[in-house]
Amino acid sequence: MTEKSKGAVTPTDARARLAIILTTVAFSIGTALFVAGKSWSDGRTAACLTLTNLTLLGGFALLRRDREMARLLLFGLAFGLTELIADALCVLGTGTLDYSPAQSKMIWLSPWWMPLSWLVVAVQITFLGRGLALRFGRMRGAALAALIGAVNIPFYEEQAYHAHWWRYVNCRMLGATHTPLYIICAEFIIGFSLGWIAADSRIYSNTKNAILLGCLAGASTIVGGLVGYGLVERIPEWLQRLR
């Protein structure tokens, strides 16, 4: 039995995985920049972006028979489905998230492509977070993943607004942008959670673990949203009332 057949990751495998992940990141950035501000853009462009990235990742796992990547995709799917709860809280609970610009068919209160979009994001951050954890240690790796998520979110939120994918209302924004401050806090928590869980080898060991850990990581979107909204929106209101 060869080393690869035993499940060992060769340098070639690692480089190939990194290449496909970075390809999806670059494609996401390029597409977001291209469609932002286009009057014809709506949820269809978000769906095309998501399905293209999913095809790249799924095709990679299938063609290379990469079981670890396949399990990482299952992890991402469980994450994305769990995130539907966080979306519902933002749409109904806080009344700050509006998906009407997308004009997409819905799954519960989210566009049908949103769980798949989060699947891709979870795979990207988890893969990169695993690399950061291996290089800098689990805590520092998770902190770096959190920082990357929090710093990058204003770009993606701004492009999403101008591409007519979604928008936020009735909440404090970052300066003159369309990025809610509470979402930046939420993304920090989500990034940290994904970075921390990325170091857990059980994600890649079997299907059951991948799904369970995906749901656990997905719960960070709920916690992150609640904590972020509380810190940025509720606490200032309470302090104002005490004056």
pLDDT in the model for residue 53 = 98
Calpha distance 204→208 (Å, rounded): 10
Check pLDDT > 80 for residue 238.
yes
Q: Tell me the sheet residues that pair with 98.
A: 167
| pTM (predicted TM-score) | 0.92
Check pLDDT > 90 for residue 1.
no
| Average of per-residue pLDDT across 193-221 | 92
Our count of domains for the chain comes to: 1
pLDDT in the model for residue 13 = 84
More confident site: 157 or 3: 157
Calpha distance 24→106 (Å, rounded): 25
pLDDT band at 8 (very low <50, low <70, confident <90, very high): low
| Average of per-residue pLDDT across 209-217 | 96
| Average of per-residue pLDDT across 161-182 | 96
Cα atoms in the Cβ-side hemisphere of radius 13 Å centred on 235:
8
- 87-96 pLDDT per residue, tens: 999 999 999 9
Q: In which domain, by residue range, is 111 found?
A: 4-242
- 76-131 pLDDT per residue, tens: 999 999 999 999 999 999 999 999 999 999 999 999 999 999 999 999 999 999 99
